[in-house]
Structure 1
Amino acid sequence: MKLTTVFAVAAGLGALAACNNTPQEQAADNIEVNAETTADALEEQADNAGTEATEDSLENQADATREAGEEAADATRTGADADGNSAN
């Protein structure tokens, strides 16, 4: 899949996820979408890697990117909860 297509889909999903959410929730959703898109691109590169070591490295980077995105999104949501601006 071409990188531009991945980013276009991510932008569309981000726009849909933004409906009826607080600004903090929208930001957290965008963080997750961006991390997922980046991780997917890394996995695509891993699939086309020339060596097993390169493939493993790219897959590890993809996993780390997803984890960091989830943690950043959770921190954003937690901050929104602490401020009393949560959608919940």
Structure 2
Amino acid sequence: SFIYSKFSKTENSKLSLQEARAEQKHYQFRDQIAGPDIIAMISGFEGKELNDFIVYCNKNLKISNADNIIMAMNKIELLAKKYKEEKGIQKN
């Protein structure tokens, strides 16, 4: 029943495990289509600037399960442009 599933510790722990697995699967998917190597390739950044941009992407890059590699690359390109504007970095 709904009440049992909401208040049972056993059911809550099952739900937490399912949520954790779903979250882990999403992060693996995100890393496949928008991982650090892809971010580096698209942005052209290296070293500290790349690390700073990866942190920026971790905060601002929204990848859904419906996205594909092309969509992710477009999102990274837009974020790189925004990042460069915010930081006053000359465009390549």
TM over 0.5: no
Please give the TM-score of this superposition, normalised by the length of structure 1.
0.35
Could you say which structure has the greater relative contact order, defined with CA pairs below 8 angstroms and 6 or more residues apart? 1
Please give the TM-score of this superposition, normalised by the length of structure 2.
0.34
